[in-house]
Chain A
Amino acid sequence: MGRFLLKRILQGAIVVIGVTVVVFVVTRLIGDPVRVMLPLEATAEQRAAFAAQLGFDRPIHVQFFDFIGSALRFDFGNSLWQDRPALEIVLEALPRTLLLVGASMVLAVIIAVPLGILTSLKPGGFLDRLLVTLSLTGLSMPNFWLGLLLIVIFGVQLQIFPIFGSGTLMHAVLPAVTFALPSAARLVMLTRSAMIDELNKSYVALVKAKNVPFRRLVGAHAFRNAAVPVMTMTGWEIIRALAGYSVVVETVFAWPGLGFLAIQSITRQDLILLQAIVFVVALMIITINILMDVAYKYIDPRIKLT
């Protein structure tokens, strides 16, 4: 286990360096950071001064090693927009996103797993067809639209929940539900098909023949086996929420998390802040992947962690 973790962390570090290189290439080589960050009407002198201030006038390889070196020390420089360390700003926003994504994934799993199991027990039945239809609706609904719909219904019409910002738990409800519903829809479908696969396997027939309680057949036997793909998918959902949907959902609800921050750093042309965000998100994804691998081992003893 220790060896495995060490290996995965080293692999993760390589990925982080890779991500950093890509960010560097995109910001410094493909685009001109000075032109991106300064307004169009800036004079040549202003541009030169700005480049000198941030070191963009140095040779590219010097900039590269400097950038990698400071990135590995988690030093991205000061945000242009807020004029304080970019990492500090990112770390302020991170817990809010983690809270939202965490709550929504718990919600999604709580909704999806029992429903998926229930539908798998009688494929083609009324409940199954109803839930499959609902799931299809859920997963064809764009996040931003679902968010707006929830705002209109629960925020404006019924006035149960606040419609933007953060501060209280009530603020988190609508954005968390917006994250959770499409994820739940996908997870229902996956749980259902994984359970149907398992229930048709030979070992389940033997468990039926043993005539142990049905609950045990479903829970201890079939779902235990179906849990492996369900867990993989949940990990995926967390990653997609962190790295993609958070931008949309947090913007819709003005939730001051990483996604919202990313959009703001883009609109304010703050490349330094954006780099820090990308770096931290990459780190989160790698961490989640390692945690998932360890969790597999606990579910399936056949998996060897090497």
Chain B
Amino acid sequence: MAAVPDMETPLDVPLLAVDDLQVSFFTRRGVVQAVRGASFTLDRGQTIGLVGESGSGKSVTSRAVMGLIELPGRIVAGDIRWKGKSLLGKDGHAYSDRIRGKEISIIFQDPMTSLNPLMKIGDQIGEVLGHHLGMDRSSADKRAVELLDLVGISFPRQRVKQYPYEFSGGMNQRVAIAMALASEPELLIADEPTTALDVTIQAQILELLQQLQTDLGLAVLLITHDLGVVAGLCQRLAVMYAGRIVETGQAEEIYSDPGHPYAWGLIGSTPRLDVVVPKLVSIAGAPPDLIRPPVGCAYAPRCPLAVELCEQVSPELIEHLPHRKVACHRAFDIRTVGAPVAAGS
């Protein structure tokens, strides 16, 4: 699908297009192929959830979009295009410098450590305003107060003068969101934004993100391992496994009718309150070693449906249903197998 426009956005150039992205980390132990060909697109105002277990490459993908891959890591192949123009390579560098932190911003997992402990939060928001919007000190100060108000922090006028240690985790995440919104971005990457927070605070932060997304028309790339988090916020879903995207499509459709056995297992292992699940299933086995990824499908060793072909040939991400791409030789065969069962022995 390299040069062909994405089928889901036939009319326009997608806001963000990640095309066969490959990121490797050159460590002493060997080359860790953290992302081995990830492709997805995101349109203006759209929300996509990038879901997978730890080490699946979802965070590395988001850092690559932010230009935060540092040695020993390197983008070895593929492209990241913003509004049709590449963010990578020699020409892309100057372009990406104007985009990153301005049109694309990010929030991290642990709000307690992702803010500078020695800088007033007003100044941490203000430096974004000063640098990206060219605001002077006094208008930046004013705007910082408005932004804190926007993310639901009470007494913002007093709060801008405080330090992160004077805030709770949930409030710091709100500050981080305010900081991310300061540059008036078009895309917000939320990298496990609720993982480090209490359940009640998680719900508040997700609600805030959802509200901001609709109010500001933001595109959101939500990175998470928690399908429950995606359900409320994302229209689209991309399931990642061992550095590859194994399934993309509308979130609801994937939930009700997963095409990839891994997506199926992931849904089966997510606790639900709305449906009676007799027993929570876990996916047996562990993800493969990404220094020596398997020749065939990376999920084959854990897959209940694996056949000989799966171990020999790596499946391509193919459109099986309209707007549904699955990288599996036995895509949608789960339908015939029946209810999710634990894989392997």
Q: Residues on A close to B: CB < 8 A?
A: 201-203, 205-213, 216, 220-221, 224-225, 299-302
Q: Are B127 and A216 in contact (CB under 8 A)?
A: yes
Q: Are A225 and B118 in contact (CB under 8 A)?
A: yes
> Inside 8 A of A301's CB, which chain B residues have their CB?
118, 163, 165
A183 to B263, CA, bound (A): 59
Q: Which one, B100, B110, B119, B131, contacts A221 given CB within 8 A?
A: B119
> Inside 8 A of B163's CB, which chain A residues have their CB?
301-302
Q: Which one, B131, B165, B176, contacts A206 given CB within 8 A?
A: B176
Given A202-B108, A206-B106, 20 further pairs, Cβ under 8 A = A202-B113, A203-B113, A203-B114, A203-B115, A203-B116, A205-B68, A208-B68, A210-B128, A211-B97, A212-B131, A213-B131, A216-B131, A220-B119, A220-B127, A221-B119, A225-B116, A299-B118, A300-B118, A301-B163, A302-B117
> Inside 8 A of B212's CB, which chain A residues have their CB?
none
Nearest to A222 among chain B residues (CB) is B116
Q: Are B114 and A212 in contact (CB under 8 A)?
A: no
Q: Are B105 and A203 in contact (CB under 8 A)?
A: no
Q: Which one, A206, A216, A220, contacts B108 given CB within 8 A?
A: A206
Q: Are A225 and B128 in contact (CB under 8 A)?
A: no
Closest 9 CB pairs of A and B: A211-B101, A202-B113, A210-B101, A202-B114, A206-B114, A209-B106, A212-B131, A203-B116, A211-B100
- A-B residue pairs in contact (CB < 8 Å), sample of 15: A205-B68, A206-B106, A209-B68, A209-B105, A209-B106, A210-B131, A210-B179, A211-B100, A211-B101, A211-B131, A212-B128, A213-B131, A216-B131, A225-B118, A300-B118
> Inside 8 A of A207's CB, which chain B residues have their CB?
116
- B55-88 interface mask toward A, CB cutoff 8 Å, 1 = contact, 0 = none? 0000000000010100000000000000000000
Q: Which one, A203, A211, A221, A225, contacts B102 given CB within 8 A?
A: A211
- B260-304 interface mask toward A, CB cutoff 8 Å, 1 = contact, 0 = none? 000000000000000000000000000000000000000000000
A15 to B287, CA, bound (A): 61
- B166-201 interface mask toward A, CB cutoff 8 Å, 1 = contact, 0 = none? 000000000010010001000000000000000000
Q: Are B108 and A205 in contact (CB under 8 A)?
A: yes
> Inside 8 A of B116's CB, which chain A residues have their CB?
203, 207, 221, 224-225
> Inside 8 A of B68's CB, which chain A residues have their CB?
205, 208-209
- B113-143 interface mask toward A, CB cutoff 8 Å, 1 = contact, 0 = none? 1111111000000011001100000000000
Q: Which one, A205, A220, A300, contacts B114 given CB within 8 A?
A: A205
- B25-66 interface mask toward A, CB cutoff 8 Å, 1 = contact, 0 = none? 000000000000000000000000000000000000000001
Q: Are A209 and B101 in contact (CB under 8 A)?
A: yes
Q: Are B117 and A203 in contact (CB under 8 A)?
A: yes
A207 to B116, CA, bound (A): 9
Nearest to B96 among chain A residues (CB) is A211
A209 to B63, CA, bound (A): 9
A225 to B115, CA, bound (A): 12
B48 to chain A, nearest CB (A): 19
Q: Are B119 and A209 in contact (CB under 8 A)?
A: no
> Inside 8 A of A205's CB, which chain B residues have their CB?
68, 108, 114
Q: Are A210 and B127 in contact (CB under 8 A)?
A: yes
A209 to B116, CA, bound (A): 13
Nearest to A301 among chain B residues (CB) is B163
A160 to chain B, nearest CB (A): 43
A277 to chain B, nearest CB (A): 39
> Inside 8 A of B179's CB, which chain A residues have their CB?
206, 210
A303 to B108, CA, bound (A): 26
A149 to B91, CA, bound (A): 54
> Inside 8 A of A203's CB, which chain B residues have their CB?
113-117
> Inside 8 A of B105's CB, which chain A residues have their CB?
209-210
A204 to B216, CA, bound (A): 27
A231 to chain B, nearest CB (A): 13
> Inside 8 A of B165's CB, which chain A residues have their CB?
301-302
A139 to B100, CA, bound (A): 43
A211 to B132, CA, bound (A): 9
> Inside 8 A of A225's CB, which chain B residues have their CB?
116-118
Q: Are B101 and A212 in contact (CB under 8 A)?
A: yes
> Inside 8 A of B132's CB, which chain A residues have their CB?
211
A94 to chain B, nearest CB (A): 35
> Inside 8 A of B100's CB, which chain A residues have their CB?
209, 211
Nearest to A206 among chain B residues (CB) is B114
> Inside 8 A of B115's CB, which chain A residues have their CB?
203, 206
> Inside 8 A of B176's CB, which chain A residues have their CB?
206
Nearest to A299 among chain B residues (CB) is B118
A113 to chain B, nearest CB (A): 17
A111 to B117, CA, bound (A): 27
A212 to B113, CA, bound (A): 19
A136 to chain B, nearest CB (A): 24
Nearest to B97 among chain A residues (CB) is A211
Nearest to B165 among chain A residues (CB) is A302
A194 to B4, CA, bound (A): 49
Nearest to B120 among chain A residues (CB) is A301
A80 to chain B, nearest CB (A): 53
Chain B stretch 90-113: residues in CB contact (< 8 A) with chain A: 97, 100-102, 105-106, 108, 110, 113
Interface centre among B68, B105, B117 (most CB of A within 10 A): B117
A213 to B108, CA, bound (A): 20
> Inside 8 A of B66's CB, which chain A residues have their CB?
209
Nearest to B66 among chain A residues (CB) is A209
A58 to B267, CA, bound (A): 91
Nearest to A205 among chain B residues (CB) is B68
A141 to chain B, nearest CB (A): 33
> Inside 8 A of A210's CB, which chain B residues have their CB?
101, 105, 127-128, 131, 179, 183
